[in-house]
Amino acid sequence: MFNNKIEALVNLYTVDNGELKILLFKKMDDPFKGYWMLPSNLMINKETIEECAEATISEKLGVNDVYTEPGIITTQIDRIPDTRIVGISMIAIIDTVKLNLNIEESEEYEWFNVDNIPKTIYDHGEIIKKTTDLFKTKLLNTKYLRKFFPSDFTMPELQKLFEQLLGKEIDRRNFRKKLLSLDIIENTNEKNVSMSGRPATLYSFKETDDKNVYYE
């Protein structure tokens, strides 16, 4: 008789000042006390994996209407000692406009740059890496970029994100020229006024058909 369980592991991403970050919680008890982990839940019979992920986000973070989609599946037999649990990572996106999370004070959490993940419980570190590698390729599509930037952004902020995704520096003038040539962004005619430096022009994504943004 099979008694396998399915776990939804939520990889919740945001872009903060041009950096792709993921939300992790600190485990407060043994085993792995002090290590970090993804928010997760076991799927119950009456729900889909998407509904399980959405319920986890609502329960743990106090927010709703967060975009989710399946990431990777991990079926390693001994991923959780003494228990057979299949893990399905879920990609979730939250923009900075919705970033006021309603997390219980007893919970300790932090947003980590996806390229600088701390020690995690069980196989969460491997799941984060594989899911993030997959997501980085998806994020070069305007479908996902619009979800991170539903309102205004600066060109330097977007360029910083692309440099992280591609793992290389990009010439500022060429980047701006490429983005404008694709006809996916528009000038809002507004400026980002900061305490230091020259005000930066604000752009927004157009509501167009989804496009892959390949950068040579």
CA distance 212 to 140: 6
Asked if the bond preceding 31 is cis, omega within 30° of 0, the reply is yes
**Which fold does the domain 152-205 belong to in CATH?**
Arc Repressor Mutant, subunit A (1.10.10)
Same fold, 5-138 and 152-205: no
- First vs last C-alpha separation in the chain: 53
Q: Where are the domains of the chain?
A: 5-138, 152-205
Q: Tell me, what's the pLDDT at 195?
A: 47
CA distance 202 to 193: 10
What is the tens place of the pLDDT at every residue in 28-80? 999 999 999 999 999 999 999 999 999 999 998 888 889 999 999 999 998 99
CA distance 33 to 121: 9
Q: Tell me, what's the pLDDT at 196?
A: 60
**Which residues are annotated as catalytic?**
108
Residue 5 Cα distances to 2, 49, 56, 133, angstroms: 9, 12, 16, 25
CATH 3.90.79.10 fits 5-138, yes or no: yes
Please give the model's pTM, rounded to 2 decimal places: 0.92
Residue 77, both tokens: 């037999």
* Residue ranges of the chain with per-residue pLDDT less than 70: 1-3, 97, 99, 194-197, 216
